[in-house]
Each structure stands twice: as C-alpha cells, then as structure tokens.
Amino acid sequence: MNCPACSYPLVVLEIHDVEVDHCTSCGGVWLDGGELEVLLENATNSHELMASLAEDVEGKEERIRCPICSKKLDKVLYGVERRVLLDICPRNDGLWFDRGELRYVMEMGHFPTDNRVYELISDIFGKSPP
C-alpha cells in the first residue's frame, strides 16, 4: 500500500493488536476502519470523540485518494475542544492522519499518563503540531 499523500510505500507497525500504516517519508499515518476506536478504547472520552466527527464544510484543503479503494477521501473535523482536520474514506476503509495528527488525536483522548498505547504513539509519531 502506498502513501495517499506522497506515494511512498507505507510501513506496517503493530501497536497492541492494531495495525498502523506509517509513511516514513512524510510522517503520515493510515488506520483501517475501526482501528481508531480500538486505539481510543481506554480513553476517558472516546465516545464523545467518535461522536465529534463532523463534515468539513469549507473544504479548502486538496482532497487525497484512499490507498485501498482510490476514491477521494472526505475531510472531517474531529475533536471536541481542539479540532483537527482528518481524511476519511467514504466507504470506511480507514482514516488518514498527517504528521503529528494521530498523536494530537490521542492527546485529546485524555489517557491515563501510564497508558502504554499513548506512550508508543508519542514515541513513534513524535510531537504534536504547534
């Protein structure tokens, strides 16, 4: 599978039974449908976060294509207090996170500070955007 943003081959990482496809070139991350829910399982406000997904009505960013079905990804806003723009497949194949966005999303989940999934995400995907 190739990166939807820069076409570089994606590397598969396994984090606690969740397969994450990572682009080592642009730093983006692809999660198959449903895997975000699994990663957020231990988050204090995961239901609130999943329910927060909303269509991006402005649509200023260029749309990229799904690495699985090649359809254009929809732009969605995610997050209750702070918002981030994610790319989601209209067939629910998965979600694309630009560099730092996955960590940002994990931060919004308010994990316990000793949560190992959150630590791994922080280590692998680095700092959140400014």
The answer to whether 6 contacts Zn ion (rule: CB under 5 A) is: yes
The answer to whether 5 contacts Zn ion (rule: CB under 5 A) is: yes
What's the CA gap between 88 and 98, in Å, rounded? 12
Write the binding mask 72 to 111 for Zn ion: x where contact by CB under 5 A, - elsewhere: -----------------x-x-x------------------
DSSP state of 94: E
In this complex, which beta carbon is closest to Zn ion, that of residue 13 or of residue 68?
Answer: 68
Total residues belonging to the chain: 130
The answer to whether 23 contacts Zn ion (rule: CB under 5 A) is: yes
Structure tokens at 113: 């500070």
Helix 116-125 to helix 101-108 angle (10° resolution) is: 160
What's the CA gap between 63 and 41, in Å, rounded? 29
Write the binding mask 52 to 71 for Zn ion: x where contact by CB under 5 A, - elsewhere: --------------x-xx--
Q: List residues near Zn ion by CB under 5 A.
A: 3, 5-6, 8, 23, 25-26, 28, 66, 68-69, 89, 91, 93
